[in-house]
Amino acid sequence: MNSLKDKIKTFLYKRPALKLLAVKARDKVLGCRYLLRTRGIKANPTRVLFSAYSGRQFACSPRSIYEQMLVDGNCDGFTFVWAFENPEEFGDLESPRCKVVKYGSKEFEKEAAGCGYWVSNNRLPSSLIKRKRQVYIQTWHGTPLKRLGFDVTGYIDGADDIESLRYSYLTEAKRFDYLLSPSPYYTRVMAGAFGLDRLGREDKIAELGYPRNDALCHPSREEIEAARREIGVPEGARVILYAPTWREKDLKPGEGFSYSRGIDFHPGLDFHEFLQSLPGDVIILLRTHYYVSRNIDLSRWGDRVIDVSGFRDINQLYLASDVLLTDYSSVFFDYGMLERPMVFYMYDLEDYRSVRDFYFDIDELPGEVVTEEDRISPAVKDALSRIGEPATDRMKAFREKFAPIDEPCASEVIRSLITG
């Protein structure tokens, strides 16, 4: 039986105008509660709060910045707080310099008030009211293909109605002091998506690079082999990383997201047949999106398919794989740093584009776009045959536009935005 909270969510989901009023009222109430709970707490200019994917992971640019600060001599006096939905899973991060708290808890709120810096790759709870002398660095979590925030024109069975979505982005844009950017393309797109152009805050974008990509800058053979060993890739195997994104239609109001599409996850494709069509030395790493519940039984395929959805560091998956198979996920922007073959399986291209639309034409993607089931196997085989070949002109053009910074940047971000 659905809880009262779930019933209210479902009721508001069907009434966008009422939902927006409810969201604004909730934010005001929670904001007042936050100020009362944290009254008298002063922000420590050498304490940093980190969060990734709303407390779901220890990952992305917040992780890269944190790990660099641990070894940066200019940060010796800094201490850190990491917030997680399930803090008990990250107890290994606890140290004299680092504290782990539960995301969204009272302790989380008090730590947020007491930290001089916030570093997050997703929108922080709108109840957190940033005080003077606190600095919020928003790293975001990927270069977008599909439209975001103010650039979304409509949802079909979506996660948010348009006005609530824009309100949430604008609220975030008013709070952060810096938004990291890896390219001029990203700077232009995110200024519009967050409404920074409407607020006259375009100067808050810091085009310094993407710290989460530091590990992908000129990796050594030793680093690649170490990643393969950590994941358990058999020696000599060729590896496909399958990393699809989520769909708005997968949201069930009051329940959350379900996984029901893609290879083996939609009725139109026989995954077993696809796997059998590939050479025997090929294995697949499956990485689902963090929004999606993972109730997938892969046991029937033995060690040829490995679920790496819970693997902490996606960069290790990039390094360990030879080919990327994805759809609309932003992972391909990061994977492009390695200049390895990619295949884009967009079986629902027209439906998906009608809901979210894209910022650029798919002809610019650095790999074959497949929309029909019978083209997946040939496209993947072709990609496998090109492992180790020099980057194509199409890949080079892609890198120049979307990932022009090919040197580690976490140190520069820390120096420019934190330590001065």
Domain harbouring 367, CATH code: 3.40.50.12580
129-181 pLDDT, tens digit each: 999 999 999 999 999 999 999 998 876 444 567 888 899 999 999 999 999 99
Residue 20 lies in a domain: no
The torsion angles phi and psi of 303, rounded to 5 degrees, stand at -90, 10
Which one has a higher pLDDT value, 117 or 357?
Answer: 117
Q: Which residues pair with 305 in a beta bridge?
A: 284
Which one has a higher pLDDT value, 420 or 143?
Answer: 143
Question: How many whole angstroms separate alpha carbon 223 and alpha carbon 229?
Answer: 10
For residue 354, name the pLDDT band (cuts at 50, 70, 90).
confident
For residue 2, name the pLDDT band (cuts at 50, 70, 90).
low
Which one has a higher pLDDT value, 360 or 157?
Answer: 360
Shared domain check, 390 and 413: no
Dihedral angle of Cα 331, 251, 290, 116, to the nearest 10 degrees: 100
Shared domain check, 113 and 186: yes
In terms of Cβ atoms closer than 10 Å to its own Cβ (0-12, 13-18, 19+), residue 86 is: exposed
What pLDDT was estimated at residue 268? 42
Shared domain check, 64 and 110: yes
The torsion angles phi and psi of 165, rounded to 5 degrees, stand at -65, -50
Q: Residue 381: pLDDT above 80?
A: yes
Residue 68 lies in a domain: yes
Beta carbons within 10 angstroms of residue 346's beta carbon: 18
Shared domain check, 174 and 281: no
Q: Residue 287: pLDDT above 60?
A: yes
Q: Residue 260: pLDDT above 70?
A: no
Pick from 318, 317, 374: nearest CA to 345: 374
The least confident of 149-158, 224-233, 401-410 is: 149-158
Residue 198 lies in a domain: yes
Dihedral angle of Cα 348, 350, 354, 355, to the nearest 10 degrees: 10
C-beta contacts of 232-237 below 8 A and 24+ residues apart = 232/306, 233/283, 233/320, 234/283, 234/303, 236/281, 237/281, 237/282, 237/283
Shared domain check, 415 and 360: no
Shared domain check, 151 and 120: yes
Shared domain check, 188 and 273: no
What pLDDT was estimated at residue 419? 97
In terms of Cβ atoms closer than 10 Å to its own Cβ (0-12, 13-18, 19+), residue 212 is: buried
Shared domain check, 155 and 190: yes
Q: Residue 111: pLDDT above 80?
A: yes
What pLDDT was estimated at residue 163? 86
Q: Residue 4: pLDDT above 90?
A: no
Q: Residue 321: pLDDT above 90?
A: yes
For residue 12, name the pLDDT band (cuts at 50, 70, 90).
low
Shared domain check, 335 and 225: yes
Shared domain check, 182 and 265: no
Domain that holds residue 112: 26-210+409-419
Residue 6 lies in a domain: no
What pLDDT was estimated at residue 153? 81
Which one has a higher pLDDT value, 6 or 252?
Answer: 6
Mean pLDDT taken over the chain: 89
Q: Residue 267: pLDDT above 90?
A: no
Question: How many whole angstroms separate alpha carbon 352 and alpha carbon 359?
Answer: 13
Residue 53 lies in a domain: yes
Q: What is the pTM of this model?
A: 0.90
What pLDDT was estimated at residue 160? 61
The least confident of 76-80, 257-261, 310-314 is: 257-261
Instruction: Give me the sign of the Cα torsion angle 381, 385, 388, 390.
Output: negative
What pLDDT was estimated at residue 187? 98
The token duo for 50 is 């980190």
**Rounded mean pLDDT, 68-88:** 98
Residue 286 lies in a domain: yes
In terms of Cβ atoms closer than 10 Å to its own Cβ (0-12, 13-18, 19+), residue 5 is: exposed
Domain harbouring 179, CATH code: 3.40.50.11820
DSSP collapsed to 3 states, the chain = CCCHHHHHHHHHHCCHHHHHHHHHHHHHHHHHHHHHHCCCCCCEEEEEEEECHHHCCCCHHHHHHHHHHHHCHHHCCCEEEEEECCHHHHHHHCECCEEEEECCCHHHHHHHHHEEEEEECCCCCCCCCCCCCCEEEECCCCCCCECCHHHCCCCCCCCCCHHHHHHHHHHHHHHCCEEECCCHHHHHHHHHHCCHHHHCCHHHEECCCCHHHHHHCCCCHHHHHHHHHHHCCCCCCEEEEEECCCCHHHEECCCEECCCCCCCCCCCCCHHHHHHHCCCCEEEEECCCCCECCCCCCHHHHHHEEECCCCCCHHHHHHHCCEEEECCCCHHHHHHHHCCCEEEECCCHHHHHHHCCECCCHHHCCCEEECCHHHHHHHHHHHHHCCCCCCCHHHHHHHHHHCCCCCCCHHHHHHHHHHC
288-314 pLDDT, tens digit each: 865 554 556 677 778 898 989 888 899
For residue 373, name the pLDDT band (cuts at 50, 70, 90).
confident
The token duo for 399 is 């890198």
**Rounded mean pLDDT, 5-10:** 66
Shared domain check, 228 and 137: no
Residue 13 lies in a domain: no
In terms of DSSP bridges, do strands 256-257 and 251-252 run parallel, antiparallel, or are they unpaired?
Answer: antiparallel
Number of domains in the chain: 2
Q: Residue 251: pLDDT above 80?
A: no
Shared domain check, 389 and 268: yes
The least confident of 182-186, 249-253, 255-259, 404-408 is: 255-259
For residue 262, name the pLDDT band (cuts at 50, 70, 90).
very low
End-to-end CA distance of the chain: 54
Q: Are the beta carbons of 343 and 370 closer than 8 angstroms?
A: yes
25-47 pLDDT, tens digit each: 999 999 999 999 999 999 999 99
Residue 16 lies in a domain: no
334-352 pLDDT, tens digit each: 999 999 999 999 988 988 8
